[in-house]
Chain A
């Protein structure tokens, strides 16, 4: 896009450039903006925004230089959009009259509404399905960037799974999030192709103690026991890849230190059959009270569950097959995961039922150590499986943050 803009300047007179207001249409209050640059990428421990547009891309070029150029262009565009500015030199409205605008324009005049744009690298960037080293990166592939195994009950749609690159755009304004993905996809044409994308209309997790716990489409509070921005010890242990985590041979993934891994799972809910389930059964399957979110062993939402407490007929009051029991850190060797999921509906499924559920996003310092055992356990024992089906899946390595003048993931190409 930068090339188009530069050509425009030399060829025609541009009113916007003369008045000095090009590409800066969106007057944003400072608290509407989330800083893009920093040691970590934004959009991970940033308090979860209300809306999501997530996209996964296939890289369709063989050129390492083109790939790097794209990451540079994406970085520049993301830095602008997150600060409420248009993409490109001239933005949405102020470019050459005979050229298509650099920015698509639907976010013109809107505030960024805490827009964050977070980038990730999939396994396919390092090696294709035949093991070919596409961009000279194979020896930098982090050991934990694996192909996820088939978990019991998975019904994955290849067209909603995997990808060489991903972008997570979150904002409190859905139009702003969609604008971000749309413009980044546009910049990528010729180098990348959108493999799949997913809209999320409501957050299902809190990533800060300052936020209340939202509800998922089952009507229950979700992510009560999440890792949050304030939990520094757990962030270092369970979210951020540390310098000593990059312990694979030859320090292959040193470039990932300060980053994380992103697990995406499209989890369809069988909404209609769930809605026909008694409140008693719903609470028993979740393991929590529906109104307050307290575990069935009592107290309030954040009271520590007592998994040993007995209820009627001497059976555990938090049922043996309840979701809480099998998802809780106490039952998974202390494993915590930072969840950042969103409710979705993608219309209906052709049988008169909603195609809806939870687009699960988790950030983890080691998917092999943390996510895979946890999901194996859930897929095997969680009573909720009767009402859900995983239909999409992807894993990405999320590089650390970017400093001004640099581009996202530059450490990988250094």
Chain B
């Protein structure tokens, strides 16, 4: 119910009654119909009352098409849907304040598109579409700085960890393990975006297929916290090979991250994915099945999501202050709860948590994750 769309829709219902779009399986009655063909872009009607505006874009052409809503200057993109295959219909929903705009279909995904003027009349509905472009640019810059700083720390601590492990200083390696991994877990969606690095560094044993070579953190984890039965400790050579690979792959990540650019959608989705990680891997104790240091990872995932959120928060406050308030409060609750499980510089082990404590953590994660999933749409729409 805290969805920005549903609360706006409610507002819309109250304010303009029949003009509101209906949440029905049938075609939304108030939707602007857009018919994109290979050489035409019919937008009907060419105006809408301010508030939530729904464009129902149908591709009646033979080429893949895109649809844009542009500001009066014809340059700034207010909303877009891409990859609409022939015969496919897709909605573009945006919050529009009164003013003049352009619509554009781009069959074949080339050129400036087939444009026409579009007018948003004043419905009386308050719409906050304040120009947040500047705030979002700052947000993406901040987030980029954060990722690069984390990767730098990750490389440093991974090298230390690798040295301890190959030198057979197991106690020290075990102590550094969750600390070093914190810098990985904070930026995991960024690493995952490369596809090939994540499996090399963070594959769990169950993720392997028959015959696949196991590398990365968890192979070393098992060797440092070996099961009591049926495990053969790795030789020094095997340890060295694993550790060298770990460092090389981490450096590879560091190199690739330097030139990476971010956009608000990537950040918002990254935050959502971090909380997914928490829900499916950490709260269940599946991530660190040998070391049981899941709470370190959990804290790190939450850190990463919080940084993304806080970078986006100024923009979010402009567009949906209520969601910003909710998210701040939910982050705080989860942080407080995690605080109860702190011990020394770190946390208690997952295996020391009671079933009730795990359930309470899971509830707090769900409570945060649900509104956090709305962050992207709230800042981008």
Interface residues of A (CB under 8 A from B): 149-155, 270, 272-273, 275-278, 281, 289, 291-292, 294-300, 303, 309-312, 317, 350-353, 376, 379-380, 386
* Whole-angstrom distance between the Cβ of B110 and the nearest chain A Cβ: 11
Assuming A152-B208, A272-B279, A351-B284, is B66 touching A281 (CB within 8 A)? no
Once bound together, how far apart are the Cα atoms of A154 and B206, in whole Å? 6
Interface string of B276-299 (1 = CB under 8 A from A): 100110011010000000000000
User: Which residues on A sit within 8 Å (CB–CB) of B89?
Assistant: 289, 291-292
Is B158's CB within 8 Å of the partner chain A? Answer: no
* Whole-angstrom distance between the Cβ of B295 and the nearest chain A Cβ: 15
Asked whether A272 lies within 8 Å of B366 as measured between CB atoms, the reply is yes
Once bound together, how far apart are the Cα atoms of A60 and B22, in whole Å? 59
Asked whether B280 lies within 8 Å of A298 as measured between CB atoms, the reply is no
Contact pick for A309, options B64, B284, B286, B358, CB 8 Å: B64
* Whole-angstrom distance between the Cβ of A398 and the nearest chain B Cβ: 25
User: Which residues on A sit within 8 Å (CB–CB) of B33?
Assistant: none
B226-284 interface (Cβ within 8 A of A): 269, 272, 275-276, 279-280, 283-284
Asked whether B206 lies within 8 Å of A155 as measured between CB atoms, the reply is yes
Asked whether A350 lies within 8 Å of B355 as measured between CB atoms, the reply is yes
Asked whether B88 lies within 8 Å of A150 as measured between CB atoms, the reply is no
User: Which residues on B sit within 8 Å (CB–CB) of A296?
Assistant: 83, 85, 88
Once bound together, how far apart are the Cα atoms of A296 and B279, in whole Å? 30
Once bound together, how far apart are the Cα atoms of A277 and B210, in whole Å? 31
Is B37's CB within 8 Å of the partner chain A? Answer: no
Question: Which residue of the partner chain B has the closest CB to A291?
Answer: B89
Once bound together, how far apart are the Cα atoms of A309 and B369, in whole Å? 35
User: Which residues on A sit within 8 Å (CB–CB) of B358?
Assistant: 351
User: Which residues on B sit within 8 Å (CB–CB) of A380?
Assistant: 209
Contact pick for B87, options A150, A278, A294, A310, CB 8 Å: A294
Once bound together, how far apart are the Cα atoms of A128 and B40, in whole Å? 69
Asked whether A270 lies within 8 Å of B209 as measured between CB atoms, the reply is no
Is B127's CB within 8 Å of the partner chain A? Answer: no
Asked whether A376 lies within 8 Å of B209 as measured between CB atoms, the reply is yes
Asked whether B85 lies within 8 Å of A294 as measured between CB atoms, the reply is yes
Once bound together, how far apart are the Cα atoms of A364 and B82, in whole Å? 39
* Whole-angstrom distance between the Cβ of B218 and the nearest chain A Cβ: 14
Assuming A312-B109, A317-B83, is B88 touching A289 (CB within 8 A)? yes
Once bound together, how far apart are the Cα atoms of A312 and B108, in whole Å? 9
* Whole-angstrom distance between the Cβ of A29 and the nearest chain B Cβ: 32
Question: Which residue of the partner chain B has the closest CB to A154?
Answer: B206
B40-90 interface (Cβ within 8 A of A): 59, 64, 66, 82-83, 85-90
User: Which residues on A sit within 8 Å (CB–CB) of B376?
Assistant: 278
Is B141's CB within 8 Å of the partner chain A? Answer: no
User: Which residues on A sit within 8 Å (CB–CB) of B362?
Assistant: 351-353
Once bound together, how far apart are the Cα atoms of A310 and B206, in whole Å? 35
User: Which residues on A sit within 8 Å (CB–CB) of B283?
Assistant: 351
Question: Which residue of the partner chain A has the closest CB to B367?
Answer: A352
Question: Which residue of the partner chain B has the closest CB to A389?
Answer: B280
The 9 closest A-B pairs by CB, nearest first: A298-B85, A276-B373, A298-B86, A351-B362, A311-B83, A152-B209, A273-B276, A312-B82, A298-B87
Once bound together, how far apart are the Cα atoms of A195 and B249, in whole Å? 45
Question: Which residue of the partner chain A has the closest CB to B195?
Answer: A321
Asked whether A152 lies within 8 Å of B272 as measured between CB atoms, the reply is no
User: Which residues on A sit within 8 Å (CB–CB) of B377?
Assistant: 278
Once bound together, how far apart are the Cα atoms of A312 and B83, in whole Å? 6
8 A-B pairs whose Cβ atoms sit less than 8 Å apart in the complex: A152-B209, A270-B280, A276-B370, A276-B372, A292-B88, A294-B85, A311-B109, A386-B276
Once bound together, how far apart are the Cα atoms of A272 and B372, in whole Å? 13
User: Which residues on A sit within 8 Å (CB–CB) of B369?
Assistant: 272-273, 276
User: Which residues on A sit within 8 Å (CB–CB) of B82?
Assistant: 311-312
Asked whether A150 lies within 8 Å of B210 as measured between CB atoms, the reply is yes
Contact pick for B272, options A276, A294, A297, A350, CB 8 Å: A276
Once bound together, how far apart are the Cα atoms of A278 and B377, in whole Å? 9
Contact pick for A299, options B86, B208, B276, B363, CB 8 Å: B86
Is B23's CB within 8 Å of the partner chain A? Answer: no
Asked whether A317 lies within 8 Å of B64 as measured between CB atoms, the reply is yes
Asked whether B279 lies within 8 Å of A151 as measured between CB atoms, the reply is no
Asked whether B85 lies within 8 Å of A352 as measured between CB atoms, the reply is no
Asked whether A273 lies within 8 Å of B280 as measured between CB atoms, the reply is yes
Once bound together, how far apart are the Cα atoms of A397 and B359, in whole Å? 41
Question: Which residue of the partner chain A has the closest CB to B265?
Answer: A278
Is B207's CB within 8 Å of the partner chain A? Answer: yes
Once bound together, how far apart are the Cα atoms of A299 and B363, in whole Å? 42
Once bound together, how far apart are the Cα atoms of A350 and B355, in whole Å? 9
Asked whether A276 lies within 8 Å of B276 as measured between CB atoms, the reply is yes
Question: Which residue of the partner chain B has the closest CB to A312?
Answer: B82
Asked whether A352 lies within 8 Å of B207 as measured between CB atoms, the reply is no
User: Which residues on A sit within 8 Å (CB–CB) of B213?
Assistant: none
* Whole-angstrom distance between the Cβ of A213 and the nearest chain B Cβ: 16
Beyond A151-B209, A292-B89, A312-B109: 5 further Cβ-contacts under 8 Å?
A277-B272, A292-B88, A312-B83, A317-B64, A353-B366
* Whole-angstrom distance between the Cβ of B80 and the nearest chain A Cβ: 10
User: Which residues on B sit within 8 Å (CB–CB) of A273?
Assistant: 276, 279-280, 369
User: Which residues on A sit within 8 Å (CB–CB) of B272?
Assistant: 276-277
* Whole-angstrom distance between the Cβ of A363 and the nearest chain B Cβ: 24
Asked whether A353 lies within 8 Å of B83 as measured between CB atoms, the reply is no
Once bound together, how far apart are the Cα atoms of A280 and B103, in whole Å? 21
User: Which residues on A sit within 8 Å (CB–CB) of B284?
Assistant: 351
Once bound together, how far apart are the Cα atoms of A294 and B362, in whole Å? 36
Is B354's CB within 8 Å of the partner chain A? Answer: no
User: Which residues on B sit within 8 Å (CB–CB) of A352?
Assistant: 359, 362-363, 366
